[in-house]
Structure 1
Amino acid sequence: MKKKKTETHAALVSDPSNALEAATQAAYKAFANYQAPHGLLDVCTACCMDAELEREMRHLPLPQLTEKHFYQYNDSAKSQVQPADEIKYLAPRLLELLAEGARLHHSTELYLDRLGRCEPGSFSATEQAALQGFALAYFAQGLEQWPAASDSLFQGDNAFTILLMWAYARVPLEPLLQHWLDSDSDASTLNFVDACYWDYVWNANQMGNAFAADQAEYKRTMEEWLNRPATKARWAEKLLCLVDTGPTSSWLPAGAVDHQRYPLPERISAVFDAMTA
């Protein structure tokens, strides 16, 4: 099992784009047996979603559905508990658009909210594995892009926001966190620096994102992971290595606004000091 995990990590690091494409195709395969709903989707066409777009989501071939369809679908009023068959029919295209960098809601954290609203036990083991595999491939590729510009896979959000998005989908975060900890790339470490600097209050042991307020499992997982001695030791090692190596071409350009207001060395030192205090 250890060898398989190591091989998976190596594949994600060496060719993350191919891993994400493979994960997308695996999602299509896992959810291939679901059909488009015959009746109205779980949306409000009175004021939230254009009626024609709703009709197209049931009648167009799944690969033809666009960012516009899913943005309105996700932003619409919806039932607290989602219809699993509807969600599972749409899931592969939703994930594919996510991999393409589509904007799927006004808030990144809620891109996959409908997935997490299905009844517990709605997803088979095969379907859960497809979601987990996609989440890992997506997260691994995004970690290798730094800074997280608006046109990057994380769309300008920090990595903790992306983890919260997957927490809303009820996808376990531990495999993603372990991959992050195992990664040796400068980009993944710098993504950790920015996520901690902007979105975690060390002295209060508290996640800073307002969307995490009612996500108790997310907060528990993240806060426990961040304060685990082995986690702190590993990140301290990687941060020291980053500082010793010095800037490379992948680091934030000196002219960027964030670098002027909050210099990167200051951010690295602040995270290191807070984590090792």
Structure 2
Amino acid sequence: MKKKKTGANAVLEYTPSNALEAATQAAYKAFAHYQAPDHLLDVCTACCMNAELEREMRHLPLRQLTQRHFYEYNDSAKSQVQPADEIKYLAPRLLELLAEGARLHHSTELHLDRLGRCEPGSFSAAEQSALQGFALAYFAQGLEQWPAASDSLFQGDNAFSILLMWARARVPLEPLLQHWLDCDTDASTLNFVDACYWDYVWYSKQMGNAFATDEVEYKRTMEEWLNRPATKARWTEKLMRLVDAGPSSSWLPAGALDHHCYPLPERISAVFDAMAA
């Protein structure tokens, strides 16, 4: 949150981080009436999760739960269908830790997997709205960070992995995709380049992430969006503007190599050619 003016007339300016904090608090409000379970959580304490950590998740104040609690909770053996009241009690802190950059599973795509395993219809309209608002604020802030280093909001993963994470939580992707299309920042465009380069197979028009194998709705949504003429035209325009302007201090130097040793200009060119085709 930033101030636009000083002195008595100071006003708060909207920033992505401000929006994410507001979305976090909205999630706490939406799920505030749920209580900690009075029985064993949906985990395996025989071999998957430390029994003391499981007990703490039910007895400590919600905001005192840590990354370690949720990592073991998420990584434990679990029921195919999740207990909705348990998930909704824990959801605000889970989201808050996500906003703080916590690693909540060995794979980003599975950070919110338990949310998506609840029975259809488990979340009220207000709860769904809170999840949607948080997803948009989280995605919008992450798109403005480039490069997506391990300490960034996306934790080094590309934006398609983040969208898959939300899809597995059964949060609609259309508002996130529309926001991305509307963005004009270099960072958001470069995040698009990397996501397309690594996670979309252009010749077969298919999403490439292994965690998307059984996510039929995610693949349909993404593949339809990427191949929509208006989408391709908009990204072609933004990529042309990016190349015409040339490298700025906000992106990797021209010719620099990322951790996969592929030059950034090569990735931009490949995605531009695919979009313009």
Using the size of structure 1 for normalisation, the TM-score is 0.94
Cα shift at 1:254: 5.8
Cα shift at 1:222: 0.1
Match of 1:258, SS?
coil
Aligned to 1:148: 148
TM-superposition CA deviations, 1:213-254 (whole Å, max 9, x none): 000000000000000000000000000000011111110146
Aligned to 1:139: 139
Counterparts in 2 of 1:209-228, with a 5 A limit? 209-228=209-228
CA contact (8 A) 1:42 1:79 kept: yes
Amino acid of the structure 2 residue aligned with 1:227 = N
Amino acid of the structure 1 residue aligned with 2:204 = A
Structure 1 runs, 4 residues or longer, greater than 2 Å off: 253-257
Root-mean-square deviation (CA), in Å? Answer: 1.4
Counterparts in 2 of 1:1-277, with a 5 A limit? 15-253=15-253, 257-258=257-258, 261-277=261-277
Sequence identity (%): 88
CA distance in 2: counterparts of 1:260 and 1:16, whole angstroms: 29
Greater helix content: 1
Amino acid of the structure 2 residue aligned with 1:32 = A
Amino acid of the structure 2 residue aligned with 1:146 = W
Match of 1:203, SS?
coil
CA contact (8 A) 2:257 2:263 kept: no
Match of 1:261, SS?
coil
Cα shift at 1:258: 1.7
TM-superposition CA deviations, 1:8-38 (whole Å, max 9, x none): xxxxx95100000000000000000000000
Cα shift at 1:96: 0.1
Cα shift at 1:255: 8.4
Amino acid of the structure 2 residue aligned with 1:100 = E
CA contact (8 A) 2:255 2:264 kept: no
CA distance in 2: counterparts of 1:244 and 1:255, whole angstroms: 16
CA contact (8 A) 2:148 2:155 kept: yes
Cα shift at 1:165: 0.2
CA contact (8 A) 1:49 1:73 kept: yes
CA distance in 2: counterparts of 1:101 and 1:256, whole angstroms: 26
Aligned residues: 265
CA distance in 2: counterparts of 1:249 and 1:72, whole angstroms: 39
Change over 3 Å in CA distance of 1:132–1:41 after alignment to 2 = same
CA contact (8 A) 1:44 1:77 kept: yes
CA contact (8 A) 1:84 1:118 kept: yes
Amino acid of the structure 2 residue aligned with 1:83 = P
Cα shift at 1:142: 0.1
Cα shift at 1:262: 1.5
CA distance in 1: counterparts of 2:221 and 2:190, whole angstroms: 21
CA contact (8 A) 1:254 1:260 kept: no
Change over 3 Å in CA distance of 1:187–1:218 after alignment to 2 = same
Cα shift at 1:105: 0.3
CA distance in 2: counterparts of 1:265 and 1:131, whole angstroms: 36
CA contact (8 A) 2:44 2:76 kept: yes
Using the size of structure 2 for normalisation, the TM-score is 0.94
Identify unmatched segments of 5+ residues in structure 2. 1-12
Change over 3 Å in CA distance of 1:245–1:257 after alignment to 2 = closer
Cα shift at 1:260: 8.7
CA distance in 2: counterparts of 1:46 and 1:54, whole angstroms: 11
CA contact (8 A) 1:159 1:192 kept: yes
Structure having greater relative contact order (Cα 8 Å, sep ≥ 6): 1
Amino acid of the structure 2 residue aligned with 1:60 = L
